[in-house]
Structures are given as C-alpha cells and as structure tokens.
Amino acid sequence: MNYQTKSPPAGTGTPSANSGNDQQAIDKFFSGWAPYVQLPANHHVRGDVKLFLAAETPEQRRAALEKANLQFRLQRAQTEAGILRPDQANGFTEVLALSRQKLAEAIRQGNTQDPLGLLQKAFAFGRFPPVPNQQAATLFLLEFWALHVGGASLKYCTYAKGLPFSAGGKTHEELARVFVASGYGSGNPLGGGQIARRAALDFEYDVTCTVFRGGVRPEEVKAGILRWIRTTGGDDQKVNLKLVPAAG
C-alpha cells in the first residue's frame, strides 16, 4: 500500500493529529519489537529512545542523542578542541535525520530495516551492543578533554594494549574496581598516574601510581591514549602528550 502525504492547510490542526497518529504507530510497533522488548524494564535505552523520538527540534534531538551516546558526546568535545577529523563529522547525520514522522512512515510501509538499524547502532542495543573497551576509552577521553588548562589533574589507569580509563576523579584503587564492575574487563591495571592540561592541545602525564605493579612503560601510556583519540575520530597528531619523570 502506498501512503501519500500533502501539506495541510495552515491552521487546520492536522500536524498535531498526524503527530499523535505517528506516535501511536511507533508505540504499537515497539511493543512487539523484540530487540526493544527484551531490554530490562529499567534499562536506560528504553527512555533514551523515547526521548529522542519525542524531540520536536533539531536541538532537542541532538541533546537526546548526546545524553545516550558517549561517542556522540565525545565528537562534540573533539570538535570544540579542534581535532575532529573531517571524515568523521557526519557520522551521526542519518540517525539525527530519523524523525518520528519518518520512522512512523517506514513502519506503515514495512520498510523498517534501515531506520531500526540506525536506532540500534546509535543507542547500542540489539545487534549493535556496546563495545566494552571502546566504552572505557571514551569515558576516559571525555574526562581528558574536560580538563582545564592549568587546573586539577586527572587520575588514570592503563590496561592491556594501552587501554586508558578514568571515572570521576576516583582513586586508582576505586578506578580498578569500577572498571571491573562496569564489565570493561577483569584484573588489575598495568599501571597508572595523573594527567594535566598545560595548553589547549598540550598535556603532561606521569606513571607515578605505585598501587599496581604490572610494569606499564611510559611510551605505552602515550601510544594508547593517542591511538584511542585516533580510533574515536580525532586527529592524534595535533595532540602533544609529554612525560613528566618522577621526582628524585
């Protein structure tokens, strides 16, 4: 069946009615859509998807996606830092263009594979579950880019293959516990230390944490951070990361 839409006359109230019908079509579909229904009742994705689809303006849609998607939030931080690579800038264009009206129309026509795939990828569920090491590295980078020039330093831990992690200014011992409890991996970090921001793209780090004795090398810490900046869409060659040797 083909559905055709025409622009309603001004003042008829039809857009509001259409919005209600669109929402009803989406609600009915989602009540039987397995990847969504199988989420735990209190899973944040349920609310995140509803908030995104209910948004009325581009600004609201971006805010809803940023709340739900760490990578999208990191992209904004990379843009503000001036290091987002041009080829990465449009990575979320399609899902941001997926309005409630477009999704409802796709549901009515039975053409749901592409739009539903966009939602699953953007909100990390169903066939696109979150990738643990990328989640951990993204959390670290969000705190890394939130550092103020000349301000307080950031405690971090380094895991195998240079995976960096930090979480809300916790001690190194607490960071290790949060890492495991969050499902990012097991075991203790190879090492850790602190990072400070000295200029917009200039950072200093050390490896002075003595809690863990995995033998992390300073160059591995630097290489891991720069690799994850590159992996998540940033231009790592613009970032200066300098080792501060231990005193004494």
Give me 58's structure tokens: 């581009």
Model confidence at 6: pLDDT above 60:
no
Q: Can you say whether residue 183 is alpha, beta or left, with left for phi > 0 and alpha for psi between -120 and 50 degrees?
A: left
Mean pLDDT, residues 224-231: 97
Give residue-wise pLDDT tens across range 68-91.
999 999 999 999 999 999 988 788
Task: Give ∠ CA 161-140-83 in degrees, rounded to 5.
Answer: 95
> Of the given ranges (8-12, 154-158, 201-205), which has the lowest mean pLDDT?
8-12
Does residue 213 have a pLDDT over 80?
A: no
pLDDT at position 136? 96
- Residue 40: is its pLDDT beyond 90? yes
Nearest alpha carbon to residue 96 among 57, 70, 154, 131: 57
Which pLDDT score, from 0 to 100, does residue 216 have?
Answer: 86
| Cα gap 88→220, rounded to integer Å | 26
CA distance linking residue 44 with residue 198, whole number of Å: 36
* Mean pLDDT (the chain, rounded): 89
Q: Confidence class of residue 4 from pLDDT cuts 50, 70 and 90?
A: very low
pLDDT at residue 144 tops 50 = yes
Asked if residue 11 has pLDDT above 50, the reply is: no
Radius of gyration of the chain (CA): 22
What digits encode the pLDDT tens for the residues 53-66?
A: 999 888 999 999 99
- Residues with Cβ within 8 Å of 142's Cβ and at least 6 positions away in sequence, in order, are 70, 73, 74, 77
The pTM is what? 0.85
Between the CA of residue 55 and those of 44, 50, 59, 101, 212, what are the distances in Å? 17, 9, 8, 11, 46
Per-residue pLDDT, 246: 65
Specify whether the CB–CB gap between 204 and 244 falls below 8 A.
Answer: yes
Name the pLDDT band for 214 (thresholds 50, 70, 90): confident
pLDDT per residue over 100-134, tens digit each?
999 999 999 999 999 999 999 999 999 999 999 99
Q: What is the pLDDT of residue 140?
A: 97
- What percent of the chain shows pLDDT beyond 90? 79
Query: Could you give the CA distance from residue 25 to residue 4 in angstroms, rounded to a whole number?
Result: 16
The predicted structure's pLDDT at residue 90: 81
Region label for 150, one of left (φ > 0), alpha (ψ between -120 and 50) or beta (otherwise): left
